[in-house]
């Protein structure tokens, strides 16, 4: 069970995963050793699963972004095995939905032409819109 300090640390780390234990301690009003112990415990419990950099796609040349709606049925449906497309370099995220539209695929490309090629590849798994 998480207590108020655990939740506060999670909020702070989600806002700034690079914050030092000293800085987190200052923000939360506790000692740095307390923060270190809590963060280590949250990591060991699997609550914190990792730390990562968030990259701005347009800053690395991927200026075209699209949210592609997928409507698909049967064994080729992208929601049955999202890893089929999640590994593509253009795919940022695959989100499963309910209803007629089964998923949204968030893509980032360098050009409209590249986006068109990604859409054509997605057609193998269902109807895009």
- pLDDT for res 82: 86
- pLDDT for res 77: 85
Task: With beta carbons less than 8 A apart as the criterion, state whether 80 and 107 touch.
Answer: no
The structure's pTM equals 0.72
* Distance (Å, whole) CA 129 – CA 126: 10
CATH number of this structure's domain 4-44: 1.10.10.10
> Does the domain spanning 57-128 belong to CATH 3.40.50.10490?
no
- pLDDT for res 23: 98
- pLDDT for res 115: 97
- pLDDT for res 7: 98
11, two tokens: 């909020």
| Helix/strand/coil for 26 | helix
Rounded mean pLDDT for each run of 10 residues along the chain, 129 residues in total:
97 96 98 98 98 90 96 84 90 92 95 97 91
Element (H, E) at 4: helix 4-15
CA 38 to the chain's CA centroid: 24
- pLDDT for res 123: 93
- pLDDT for res 83: 87
Sheet with strand 91-96: strands edge to edge: 91-96, 103-109, 64-71, 127-128
Domain segments of the chain as ranges: 4-44, 57-128
39, two tokens: 């963060």
Residue linked to tokens 């069970």: 1
């Amino acid at each position: 069970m998480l207590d108020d300090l655990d939740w506060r640390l999670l909020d702070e780390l989600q806002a700034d995963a690079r914050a030092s234990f000293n800085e987190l301690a200052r923000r939360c009003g506790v000692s740095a050793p307390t923060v270190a112990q809590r963060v280590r415990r949250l990591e060991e419990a699997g609550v914190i699963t990792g730390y990562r950099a968030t990259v701005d796609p347009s800053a690395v040349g991927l200026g075209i972004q699209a949210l592609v709606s997928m409507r698909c049925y049967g064994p080729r449906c992208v929601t049955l095995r999202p890893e089929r497309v999640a590994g593509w370099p253009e795919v940022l995220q695959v989100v499963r939905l309910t209803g007629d539209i089964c998923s949204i695929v968030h893509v980032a490309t360098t050009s409209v032409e590249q986006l068109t090629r990604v859409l054509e590849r997605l057609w193998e798994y269902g109807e895009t819109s």
